[in-house]
Structure 1
Amino acid sequence: MKIHRRHLTLVLLSISGAVLHAADPVVPVVAPTQATAGPMIFQTVCAQCHGAAGEGKEELKTPSIASLPTWYLNTQLTNFREGRRGHDAADPYAFMMAAMAKALQPEQLKAVAAHVETLPLVVPTGKARDMAGTNVQEGMRLFQERCMECHRYNASGEMAFGSPPLLGRQGWYLAEQLRKFKTGKRGAVKNDVNGAKMVQITNFFIEDDQMLRDVVAYIMTLNPEANASPEEQQKQIIEGSPFKSASAAGQ
């Protein structure tokens, strides 16, 4: 497949300073492609960082994106493309995502978003799910009071509120995004309406990092069983409830 070398050079120039001087591991740089089919764009541009199944990679600080709805992905990719996300070179991973979004054409972004939605949910396990030193019951209380209205009782998300599903995302990633909202590293740019709501929520109702980690630990309990069939997983998600007994996991 022919690759746009000129685009690759621009991407390299735009992110090299931020990534190479970051304390975190260097992120692989992938060339954008001329492809218009979502699966091909995903394998060429996205899979090296997000994994072949969209499962994400902790060492690269990339989230699991498998099964995220098209409406949410389109919004976030547009945010990256238009500078509402990934505008700070001190956040090299988001900065690189912005560079990638700008290197692809809008129709390519829509195609890859549609493909990602078809990828099976990847349920977090092990380190991606474990939240040691947390109080799941306290997290459940906070989720009921502050999160459930927008993200639904089972954390499956709600398009009407612009709230993504939280299921399938790694615990460390959810915690990091909440910290970014709380510190204004995400959601503070003009015209990011849904991000601004999260900035308010995290600042007014999440008092400290312990509370933040508690609510993430509870969200982890709403994930379906990793080894269940897709049909059974969907059933477990629908039947999920913030009022069920929270397990002792993470306590």
Structure 2
Amino acid sequence: MKLRLLLLLAFAFDAAAATPPDTMAQRMQACVACHGKEGRATNQGYFPRIAGKPAGYLYNQLVNFRDGRRHNATMTYLVDQMTDAYLREIAEYFATLDLPYPAPQTAGAPAAQLARGEQLVRQGDAQRGIPACSQCHGTAMTGVQPAMPGLLGLPRDYLLAQFGAWRSGQRKAAAPDCMAQVAKRLSEDDITAAATWLSSQVVSAGPAPASALPPKLPLDCGSGAR
């Protein structure tokens, strides 16, 4: 009888020891399977970095996947039954992570392409109604609170895919959808140039989002201040 009790206690102890703690880090293991350890991603592949992005931006994207404005079968499956409150908790968890960025992905791109990409990012193209990326995403391109994402440290293929999704209507945001307007004004060569330049930049240490947007944005943007 004593032996049986000891065995039962031993099995119970082993089971308890094998049960992981119920923390946000543990719950988010499904996210890091694609987005990389702690959501930091790498300089390879398609999936974007989510660590350190503004919480408002991450929350908006989770809601967009859940409500059908963005389309990815895996993401929709994961968030389909989640409440707004829990999606915000997830967003705030990843927003607090301050982790090193990987080395730039793109190297050896043509100088003319890089120059055009930098021009679009920093100056835009006023004649075609294309604002500079930095006007909304911050002069350092590290995002702006509460809901503008940084554009550095993202894979080139991911950036290209998002521009394509906005142009085709596969990706949407709260109206007015300013990024859809911008993407449709850009040529394919412009998109390639901007994505190539962005993915070739070294990200400085501690790239926190800027604290506030400028008083007047170049375009009305439905999701930029949420």
TM-score range, shorter chain: 0.5 to 0.7
**Gap regions ≥5 residues in structure 2:** 1-20, 125-130, 211-226
Q: Deviations over 1:151-177 (max 9, x none)?
A: 1222122236x4211123222211211
2:194 counterpart residue number: 215
Residue 99 to residue 224, structure 1, CA distance change in 2 (3 Å): same
Residues matched between the structures, number: 181
Supply the distance in 1 between the matched residues of 2:40 and 2:208 (Cα, whole angstroms). Answer: 20
Give the aligned partner of residue 10 of structure 1.
none
C-alpha separation between the residues in 2 aligned to 1:80 and 1:235?
26
Match of 1:198 in 2: 179
Q: Does 1:167 align with 2:167?
A: no
Which residue of structure 2 lines up, in the alignment, with residue 113 of structure 1?
A: 91
Which residue in 2 is equivalent to 1:132? 109
Question: Do 1:80 and 1:101's aligned partners in 2 also have CA atoms closer than 8 Å?
Answer: yes
Find the structure with the greater CA-based Rg. 2
Contact 1:138 1:214 in 2 (8 A): yes
For CA contacts below 8 A with separation 6 or more, give which structure has more relative contact order.
2
1:165 and 1:200, CA in 2 relative to 1: closer, same or farther beyond 3 A? same
SS of aligned partner of 1:66: coil
Q: Could you tell me how far apart the structure 2 residues matched to 1:223 and 1:59 are?
A: 15
TM, length-normalised to structure 1:
0.62
- Which residue, out of 197, 203, 207, partners 1:224? 203
Indicate conservation of the 8 Å contact 2:55/2:95, yes or no.
yes
In the TM superposition, what is the alpha-carbon distance from 1:218 to its structure 2 partner?
2.3
- Runs of at least 4 residues of structure 1 off by over 4 A? 57-60, 235-238
Unaligned 5+ segments in structure 1 are: 1-34, 87-93, 226-232, 239-251
**Matched residues in 2 for 1:197 and 1:129: separation?**
27
- Contact kept, 8 Å, 1:66 with 1:122, in 2: the verdict is no
Give the direction of change, closer, same or farther, for the CA distance of 1:99–1:163 in structure 2 (3 Å limit).
same
Q: How big is the shift at 1:237?
A: 9.0
Pick closer, same or farther for the CA change 1:70–1:76 going to 2, 3 Å: same
Aligned-residue identity in percent: 25
Q: Using the alignment, how far apart are the partners of 1:111 and 1:120 within structure 2?
A: 17
How high is the TM-score relative to the length of structure 2? 0.68
Equivalent residue in structure 2 for 1:104, among 82, 86, 93: 82
Deviations 1:50-89 (A, max 9, x none): 2223133688732121111211111111111111112xxx
CA distance in 2, matches of 1:131, 1:79: 36
2:62 alignment partner in structure 1: 77
Distance in 1 (alpha carbons) for counterparts of 2:118 and 2:151: 14
For 1:200 and 1:165, the matched residues in 2 are separated by 19
Q: Distance in 2 between matches of 1:236 and 1:42?
A: 22
Q: Quick check: 2:41–2:49 contact (8 Å CA) kept in 1?
A: yes
Q: Cα 1:115–1:201, aligned 2, differ >3 Å: closer, same or farther?
A: same
* Aligned match of 2:127: none
2:165 and 2:102 mapped to 1: Cα distance?
21
